[in-house]
Amino acid sequence: MIAIRSSRLAGFGHAVPTRRVENAEIEMKLGLEPGWIARRTGIRARHWVEEGDTLTGLAAQAGEAALDDAAVARGDIALTLLATSTPDHLLPPSAPLLAYRLGLRNSGALDLAGACSGFLYALTLADGFVRAQGKPVLVVAANILSRRINPAERASAVLFADAAGAIVLAPSDDPEKGILGVDLASDGSCYDLISIAAGGSNRPFAPGMATEDFLMTMRDGREMFTQAVAMMTSCGSRALAQAGLGAVDVGRFVPHQANARIFDAVCDNLGIDPQRTVRTIDDYGNSSAATIALSLSIAHQEKPFTSGERLLLTAAGAGLTGGAIVLGL
């Protein structure tokens, strides 16, 4: 039996809802001057779902594209990981329905709630599974955040979007492919910087609760900015060191698209050429865990990844959770 030494990114896919929401629509509702959102976030537009759209429906579109791109038989997928903060229901998990809709009859399925860094955690787990079992994994990151936005709260209303991204991770016998370095982090002292107050076991649903209790709130946007830059920088630096690489070795930098000023600061801190940063925030906004998977798919579509290319992925978000991965292609 030949030991599987590594994994490889075999397929990419993404999906966004049809409805495109320009900044002007939100700025008018919030009484903001034209251009306010773009100047502070780098966002020009985002996509929001229509009534009747579902999280698993959006995730299935991205997963379908990744599976087709990878040309992997559906029956060979052994695990489906869905990184999301907005599942179809609190119970049951959404990943089994996603696997069923995609015809993955031999796949286990699991939801992962890692907020903005959820895709990095899912990718880390997928890599370990592929190395141990020698079978391909589908990783999908998807969110419908437009249904969790408080339209009256400027800090979050201008940022969040709906999208899905997916990758197929397959076995490889090349040790220079797959995850070359990884660093994951958390800081529970900042647990409530981004939160939804009710709906969990601490504050379960109850008659008479205010609608705002079930919507996202950002307690301190400035502090979140500071913490995200610090966590993404430190995790990125450690992941590169673990991989034995430097900033000059990074072919493309694929950060979580939270705010353009955040990832520009991280890029500067790590000494990465800004021209190597993959930017999708302008047209797609912040879809939390989905942004990196979405960005990988779009970047590969626009300029296909080449063998030997090195990618650096970084993210930080609610929890706080964060991390960085160095990928070999």
Question: Which positions are annotated as active-site residues?
Answer: 116, 256, 286
Contact 11/68 with Cβ under 8 angstroms? yes
Q: How far apart are CA 23 and CA 45, in angstroms?
A: 6
Provide the edge-to-edge strand list for the sheet that holds 310-317.
178-186, 321-328, 310-317, 252-255
Q: Take residue 158 and report the two structure tokens written for it.
A: 């201008």
Looking at the DSSP bridge assignments, the partners of residue 166 are: 13, 140
CA–CA gap between residue 294 and residue 87 (Å, rounded): 18
Residue 29: what are its φ and ψ, rounded to 5°?
A: -65, -35
- The count of residues in the chain is 329
Q: b vs e for 154-192, b when ≥16 Cβ sit within 10 Å of the residue's Cβ?
A: bbbbbbbbbbbbbbbbbbbeeeebbbbbbbbbbeeebee
Which ranges constitute the DSSP H helices of the chain?
A: 23-30, 36-41, 55-70, 95-101, 118-133, 154-157, 221-243, 260-270, 281-284, 290-302
Helix, strand and coil percent figures for the chain, each rounded to 5: 40, 25, 35
Residue 110's Cβ-side half-sphere holds a number of Cα atoms within 13 Å equal to 16
Strand 45-47 relative to strand 252-255, pairing:
unpaired
